[in-house]
Amino acid sequence: MTKHPESIPPGSQRGRFIVVEGIDGAGSTTHAKRLYKSLRADGHDVRLTCEPTTGPIGGMIRQVLQNRLMVPDAEGPRPFAWSTMALLFAADRLDHLDSFVVPALRDGATVISDRYDLSSVAYQSVTAPGGIAVVPWIRELNARALRPDLTLIVDVPPKVAAARRAKRGGSEELFESTEIQSRLCELYSHAEELVPGDKIVRISGEGEIDDVAANLLDAARTLFVGG
């Protein structure tokens, strides 16, 4: 995957782009927020965001994930094929980069995103009939996506993640079945192969939340050493 050619001029100074990833229930949202607060406390200009976004395409994706997308003459929520979801996520991501991420980085801010294209590669391939054989196509869809400076994967066993999802309540979303989450956990264990060349740091998501957050912060702070 290459850098977005129109995103940031070569040689220009820009902020850092950090992504927090993990299966559902790993704590990526919680830890993205905590990392945002901690880096702000360090004195950095930090912007927090997420995928799917709150934009027009992201809003549609969220409706699909939550089984809320209704269409005329349909008896219930409309399901989308895995390939359609891959296209929607890629479109949402490029719009996200153009409207939020790249402008913030140009301003010199650090951007923290709860999920990015590693999620697309993992989630869409795990639901595709061809399995990981579709990974090259999904990566090609995201070929113009700016690469993160650091991807932090919060690792938890599927059973731990499932217990956390059950505790927070609510209806099960599209990808939250035990079978899918177990397969996703296996895919995330090979993340370096899914997004080759990206800097990936794994942090155990088990244990006290403060300890996990401190480990993520330590990893993120390495980006600011010497400047």
Considering the domain 17-50+80-224 in this protein, what is its CATH number?
Answer: 3.40.50.300
Question: Crossing angle of helices 82-96/56-65, nearest 10°?
Answer: 150
State the average pLDDT for the chain. 90
pLDDT band at 11 (very low <50, low <70, confident <90, very high): very low
| Dist CA 1 CA 143 (whole Å) | 5
The DSSP annotation for 77-109 comes to PPP--HHHHHHHHHHHHHHHIIIIIHHHHHTT-
- Reported confidence tier of residue 69, pLDDT bands at 50, 70, 90: low
The tokens 């406390």 sit on which residue? 41
Per-residue pLDDT, 4 = 47
Q: How far apart are CA 203 and CA 22, in angstroms?
A: 10
Please report the pLDDT score of residue 73 as a whole number: 60
Mean pLDDT is lowest, of 43-52, 150-159, 175-184, 214-223, for: 175-184
Q: What angle do CA 48, 122, 178 make, to 5 degrees?
A: 100
How many degrees, rounded to 5, is the angle at CA 120 between CA 59 and CA 201?
120
Mean pLDDT confidence for 47-76: 83
CA angle 144, 150, 151 (to 5 degrees): 85
Q: pLDDT digits over 126-184, tens only? A: 989 988 899 999 999 999 999 999 999 999 999 999 999 888 877 777 787 888 899 99
pLDDT at 105 over 50: yes
pTM over 0.85: yes
CA distance linking residue 43 with residue 39, whole number of Å: 7
Domain boundaries, the chain: 17-50+80-224
Q: Give the C-alpha separation, 80 to 108, whole Å.
A: 38
